[in-house]
Structure 1
Amino acid sequence: MAGKRTSPSMASKAAKALDDGRTGRVTKSLAASVLAQTGDNSKTSAKIASLASEVLGNPKSSEIAKSLAASALSQSE
């Protein structure tokens, strides 16, 4: 079964997050994962899925981090 692909708008957000020097390590990890899933048969790793769950459960997480986390989780099994 083919994995879901990252949408162009989410890929753009992920690229901007990676380019922004103020972006934290966790958000950059999520952004890299989301960008890696623009091709076929890409799935979120268990490590990134766990990280994404933590981000979504943290009320202090930024909106971009939450968006990237949701995208990454939507592409996990």
Structure 2
Amino acid sequence: YEGDLQDTPIYLGCDADDVHIPQQRVHESADILSNLGGQVKKQIFNSLGHTVNEVELAIARSMMTRVTE
């Protein structure tokens, strides 16, 4: 992959047993995005399923606030 994400904050999260997003895909994506210059934070949850939780929403809000200030 080519490009420069110029320290763009990126958050990747999923459940350890998510049936739609394999955990390995999160790790691979994090590596690729990091190599392109992204500031990647990844988080693997237990017992979350394929949904978004309050922790992830708070992280997304925080990231959006930082990039829009």
TM-score (structure 2 length as normaliser): 0.35
Larger radius of gyration between Structure 1 and Structure 2: 2
Q: Which of the two has greater strand per residue? A: 2
TM-score (structure 1 length as normaliser): 0.33
Q: Which of the two has greater helix per residue? A: 1
